[in-house]
Amino acid sequence: MWKTVKIFMLTIIMTLVTGCQLLIDNRSRESGAVVVVPSDEWEAMRQASIASGQADTLSEPGDTETQMPEVIIEPMPGSEAITFSNYTSSALGGCIATGILEVQHHGAVNDAITLLKNEAFRLNGNALIMIKMNSTLRDHAGTINVQARLLTCPLRIAKGN
């Protein structure tokens, strides 16, 4: 018993001294992957969420009649090079899975794919493996949920003489 207590205490002391962080994920299994972002990006996203929540509460009831201008989603320069692959081809090509991207988009499927490729390009990925894609209809608007595994593949080496 003392050995177990000593190991437990050593683990706690090492965690406190080295500054490691422990992530406890209380979510259900269907909720998807955990995304780790730098604290300044998280703070910017939190402030934007708070600002949008305040804008919704301050809006007039008659504002629902006016249409919001449609946002045009354009691909980032270079994101068109991101390709879709499968597990076998990516493993044979020497690709490394670096994480899972999730996109939830209210609009067209092509726009959701464009957002997915833009994010993959921003994270220096080369290819994507589609994991799950579904669409739900809520409040007369379609919501598209896309999950894809992000891959980083080596550059192709020319073969032959």
Do residues 33 and 23 make contact, with C-beta atoms less than 8 angstroms apart?
no
Looking at every residue in the chain, the average pLDDT score rounds to: 77
Q: Is 94 exposed, middle or buried (0-12, 13-18, 19+ CB in 10 A)?
A: exposed
- Angle among Cα 104, 96, 147 to the nearest 5 degrees reads 15
What pLDDT, on the 0 to 100 scale, is given for residue 92?
83
pLDDT tens digits for range 139-156: 666 788 889 999 988 876
Domain ranges of the chain: 74-156
What pLDDT, on the 0 to 100 scale, is given for residue 154?
85
- Angle among Cα 83, 87, 90 to the nearest 5 degrees reads 55
What is the homologous superfamily of the domain 74-156 according to CATH?
A: Flavin-binding protein dodecin (3.30.1660.10)
* Dihedral angle over CA of 126, 132, 133, 138, nearest 10: -130
Do residues 153 and 93 make contact, with C-beta atoms less than 8 angstroms apart?
yes
Question: What are φ and ψ of residue 37, in 5° steps?
Answer: -125, 155
pLDDT tens digits for range 17-31: 776 555 555 666 555
Q: Which amino acid is at 75?
A: P
Q: Is the pLDDT of residue 117 over 60?
A: yes
- Angle among Cα 107, 112, 114 to the nearest 5 degrees reads 130
What pLDDT, on the 0 to 100 scale, is given for residue 20?
57
Q: Which of 97, 104, 91, 107 is nearest to 128 (CA)?
A: 97
pLDDT tens digits for range 79-114: 888 889 888 888 888 888 888 888 888 878 888 889
Q: Is the pLDDT of residue 135 over 60?
A: yes
What pLDDT, on the 0 to 100 scale, is given for residue 141?
67
Q: Which of 87, 128, 136 is nearest to 109 (CA)?
A: 136
